[in-house]
Amino acid sequence: MTVQGVSPVVNTLFGAPIDPSTASFVVAGVPFDETSTYRKGSKQGPAAIRTASQMIESFCLDEQNNVDAAHLPIADIGDITFEPHTVQSMLRAVESVVGQIAQEEKIPILLGGEHTLTLAAVRALPRDIVLLQFDAHMDLRDRFNDQEFSHASVQRRIVEQLGPDHLIQIGIRAVSKEEFDYAQEHKITYYSCNDIRKEGAATIARRINDAIPPGPPLYISIDMDVLDPAYAPAVGNPEAGGLTTSELLTILRVVTPRAMIFDITEVTPQYDQGITAIAAARIITTFLCIQAKRFQKVL
């Protein structure tokens, strides 16, 4: 298998090989932050996450399945390339690469970059997919800074494509009146940080899992600003009052087994000493170790 539209990197996730032929998980970076509006720099996120992944222990102690994420069948094909460096060019390139990976029945893992990339990936996947969005923000604005396609409107575009019943938002705590009204009108399911604190992460995770009908595959998309800035300070749009890393992982452990694609976005590494990239690498490690049960035959 050869994936078109990528440029290999030397420093891969967990030091994984580049060739995706025998891999079950295929990693690609999306170094793009052109529509970022507060703190740019997420185009440096893929490199920072890859570096952090090689500095942390990858054995999955908490999952109790005797798996080392670094030894799973992973390939890191490098960064997705696009010219010119515009949002539409990025969307086309990411859609193409994700489509190639998914066609081979492999699980794409995308390293952002800004959250706009999720729209491109959704376009490459079956229309019955359910998107689980971990995020401080709803991203449901119709336009932002006069842009139809941006990190602040990405979920609005996804709802228009998939329908409101295909989106579940987790960790929400910063919204505009426009977004709140749109969510209410279209009956979009969301769980605020207050909901999670009141009921507990494990309870919310079970509610989310029970609400998803059997059959449709899941897309897990994590904007790192879902975490409180105490746990992830280096993000594009930090918001106080967020989830702890432990709360996020608790929910992730319940919903991950059905996921067919995963992305992690908005790491802006110049705003901390590597804390946020390390958290992102740990989240990816947990995702992989849970997913490993589906691939025991190749371990």
236 found inside a domain: yes
Q: How many domains does the chain have?
A: 1
- Whether residue 216 has pLDDT greater than 90: no
CATH number at residue 146: 3.40.800.10
1 found inside a domain: no
In the structure, what pLDDT confidence band is assigned to residue 297 with cuts at 50, 70 and 90? very low
Q: Which domain holds residue 141?
A: 6-298
CA distances in angstroms from 284 to 91, 249, 258, 261, 288, listed in the order given: 23, 10, 15, 12, 6
CA distance 16 to 12: 6
* Number of other CB atoms surrounding residue 11 within 10 Å: 12
Tens-place pLDDT, residues 240-268: 999 999 999 999 999 998 899 999 999 99
221 found inside a domain: yes
Judge if pTM exceeds 0.85: yes
Tens-place pLDDT, residues 95-139: 999 999 999 999 999 999 999 999 999 999 988 999 999 999 999
269 found inside a domain: yes
55 found inside a domain: yes
